[in-house]
Structure 1
Amino acid sequence: MGKQAYASPAAGMSYRDAGWLARDKLEGARIQLARNFLAKGEEINIEEEWLVVDRVVAGRSFKSRSRPGASLGLGGGGAVGLRWEFLVKWRGLEYSDATWEREEDLQGDQEHIARFQRIRPRTAADLEGAVPEGKRAACLKAGGPGHMTQLRDVQALQLPSFCNGRKLRSYQEEAVRWMVSNYVAGRNCILGDEMGLGKTAQSVSCLETLRQLGYVPGPFLLVAPLTTLGHWQREIQTWTDMNVVLYAGSRADRQVILEHEFKFDPDTLAAMAARAGASSRPAKLPSHVTSGLAANPYRFNALLISYETLLKEQSMLCKIPFSAAVFDEAHKLKGATSSTRAAAMALRTGWTLLLTGTPIQNHLGELWAMLNFLDREEYPDQDAFMEQYMGPNGGPPSMDQVNALRGCLSGLLLRRMKEDVETLPEKEEVVVWVELTGEQQEFYKAIYSKQVGALLGGGAKSDMPGMRNLAMELRKLCCHPFLCDGLEEESRMRRVIKQTEAGGSATVNELELLVRASGKMVLLNKLLPKLRKEGRRVLIFSQFTRVLDLLEDYFAMMAWPHERIDGNTKGKDRQVRIDRFTNGSDEECFIFLLSTRAGGQGITLTAADTAILYDSDWNPQNDLQAMARCHRIGQSKEVTIYRLVTKATYEEHLFNTASRKY
């Protein structure tokens, strides 16, 4: 919770420099003092993290009595008479909120300045001899991964040491060696491990192995869903010392990143070499350093973006020659004609790695789409692929076809299941059949009867929009009548009439109205107090953000602490909410509300041991993704999944149909 404050930071100043008074202090002050202060600024909440340095992104020198000089991207000392200031990005704020801070004002943040000095001239290590000149030059001269003899003996390859004492499990080491062998062979591939086995850590470790042992100059590109970018950034920073740049935010944010985090300036490195040596004249750079700059003139080792940013910045990203590209949740690329896939295929990448826990969600054509993305020459035609590996008329394949497909995928796809490589606590899935309330039944029949003609009319193409609308309205009604237009007012009016006819008040109890209107809410009203008493932490997933709104209203009335992530949650808030839920006590953290699509991918929430699927997805793989948020590596408790299904309704039909896809 932020401090209630009246703040007035001047333009270009951080919140550390903002003048602020606590609300109680201000209210106790003289009225004229309050008016004078309020005239200078606006009332805001200053979050504690806004005062914490996230990273130093640039540096420049200036003379004490003159205007700031040219940006050098260096810091700490310098010629006599020069002082330094640094461009600071603050935690929880965007790049456009970054401010220039003088070095003497950052005395408590020396580790960030030290990190900046270490990683900004990305090839400074070359000057100090950290990377063997001959090996780097040989690697660059050889012309690519196919000539990397130092990585050819993959089985004997000793993986590098990772930061913070992080270690891979044996099956994860096996996957890293498999990915490295594909890189050396120049073969794109798919890591298709089941959800929860650490695909993020394995792929990051692969890139770090290429960087440390293969002397691959980079840069690397990582594309992931928006909801997972914070997790990816943290994993890269935890496992490696790579300089990872998260390229996201508004146009103003991205402009700051482009200006200060993208291109590497050779003059900066020359200036550093001059300062490090005895001569005050710019030193001539070693040949292997200049060749490294030619291969990768970018300041970052890894660039992290969302699929949305890939579309927005396609023209700029296509100009960057990436040594390797990793696509998380790669089933997003399955649409053969999608703009996202086209943008990804237009990138200049030396090697491509796809990550997906669900290589096939609905049909074999989705697998072909990924194989075609990896190798268009080998898999040019979907019809030929389907004919080769599917039965007649798209029917089930024969055993010979299955074996042939396995042989085809043996070098391209690595997939392991949890039960094969990990010993995780048990997961129990319970289908809870829910009855409609009496009022819900009335509404259900009314909606259904008005549209039943469309359902019984033979399903002509012109009738499909009406039929889809009917299906959606019935699904919404099964969740809660208040999702349907006009039914909240109808329900409220009925309750008022019933109360007044009985001689009672016309005032409606909001909690009672919300709970009794829906069979699922009646069930949750009984289940959740029991789970809270047992000290359980709960994830609740729904397809509808309006359901999440109603549940938030209910939790507020019950005074239950909760967090929420849906498609509208800002990127900078997602990881904060995840951390709050993960690190808080049971009293502080009880429920996490998530939309199935936005919150069901790439998020680790092993602090929870219970998940409730308030409504099921058309695609059962999305529900499996949601369950895997808590049943994954790091889970120490048995996990219970409650799936709520309304009995004898369209929702039951949907569940039965989707179950056949498992």
Structure 2
Amino acid sequence: RDAELFQLAFDEPEGWHGELDESSDNGWFEMALTVELDGEELPLLPLLGPVLEAYDPETLPERVAVPLEEHRYLMVPGAALKPWMEVLIELFDRAPPSEEKLRLSRFDSARLAEMEAQSDIQWRGGEAIRRLGQRLRDFRNIAQVPPPEGFTGKLRAYQQQGYDWLHFLREYELGGILADDMGLGKTVQTLAFLASLKEEGKLDRPALVIAPTSLMGNWAREAAQFTPGLRVLVLHGPERHERYPRIPEHDLVLTTYPLLPRDQEKLLEQRFSLLVLDEAQTIKNAKSQAARIVRRIRADQRLCLTGTPMENHLGELWAQFDFLMPGFLGDSARFKRLYRTPIEKHGDQDAQARLARRVAPFMLRRRKDEVATELPPKTELIRSVPLGKSQAALYESIRASMEKKVRDAIAAKGLARSHITILDALLKLRQVCCDPRLLKLKQAQKIGQSAKLEMLMELLPEMLEEGRRILLFSQFTSMLGLIEKELKARGISWTKLTGQTRKRDAAIERFTSGEVNLFLISLKAGGVGLNLTAADTVVLYDPWWNPAVESQAMDRAHRIGQDKPVFVYKLLTEGTVEERILALQERKRALAE
């Protein structure tokens, strides 16, 4: 043993440096670590296997003996090895490199800036990738971009930051997740960004937005309002096939997730300047048909918009990043081994911090309480949805039969004495819009779908997930009963106040005490006399002729004593009497003002 010890030789490196090579496949770069010993250059990475087995980055001694050959060791400062160890552990799962070079995604170039900061390593080559790494590490100091001239709105400070961030991603050909809370204007920020690209001459192909059916009307409306210069094409409804050849003539193309399987061939023929997934948690199951199709659509850049980037587990976040930047977080199995299992099962704070650091440049999330000072006291938002096939057919048959009935009544009794018939006709049409089951007709009872109820049940879980406290109003107490059935099926707690509620104070107390976060109220029972400033969100399930009645409902939450911004969501069905009611409200409001 003494003889063996006598043979041990410990060499000191004469110098060392990192090498970067950007000439490999697009989107990847190679990184090597070289030491100088006896006038020669020696690749160090393939020698680190024993060090990886023996130490963690935090337990490295001041000087580490790296085996070179039998009885011969290279003495390397632990501080200099630490950043390389972290890269090998985090990106390569501790696997000792068999090659002299590591192959990394350009999305991980921020590691270079970190390594430079942690050790006095000198780099050779890779100027462009090092510049990108520096920008990703300091991504909070992004240059401000003036809003486009064709944008008719005004961006709030946080929206300007989001708009600047989208430009930053574009400049470096990166994808990202805009994950602001619901109602903070993800659509507006994206539209401003698109209008800016068009003005700069960088929108050489159209952008494609894929969204839930319930958001089609919202995108079209906001584009017309805020970016009227954008040429918008809506690919929805039975006539959409005739519009496909016109895609290249437009700046913004809108379609829905349910149509992807049917329309995939036509979409895959195109190339887009930008592909945006709205409510991107829709592709949280990476094996779903929609998730597989969106990965195949060709686009220069990809974006995800979602208020809930993760609903149940980290695998959903991985699915979105795998769409945005394939390979960035490894495959599903490796992501599970490196992050999901340590974080979800063992509460590993280090793994959580590493994941947060990796995705930080590519994910912008603002909670509504963080930007509350920038928000107006009340924000009104319209959410509209087209009727489904059978619901639309019922609506049309009732409209046609009631039209005849109204005409006959006016012919027989005159307009002044036909008001009851007219109001009855309008009531039936409004009930079909809310839910066909509100009608006492046999044919209506057979229809098992309500587009608006489905939209509501998409909205509510996301709102509750964000910690919202919600007042939900309807004029129809029977509609509240149907909503209750859906809530019960989903395990969502609520309280209710209608004209029939006997223990009114107890119902109110359940909400104001914080026991439940959802309060169902009939418009007549809760329109006046209630002070519910614990709420920060109001949902008006059905519009009312008189805007003053709706304003009273909104004022349950938005009144003196309210210290939070209030969001008001008005739910509508498209192409129906409800749109007429909304237009009438606007005219009445304009007259009143």
TM-score class normalised by the smaller sequence: 0.3 to 0.5
Higher relative contact order (CA 8 A, sep 6+): 1
Q: Give TM-score, length-normalised by structure 2.
A: 0.44
Q: Give TM-score, length-normalised by structure 1.
A: 0.40
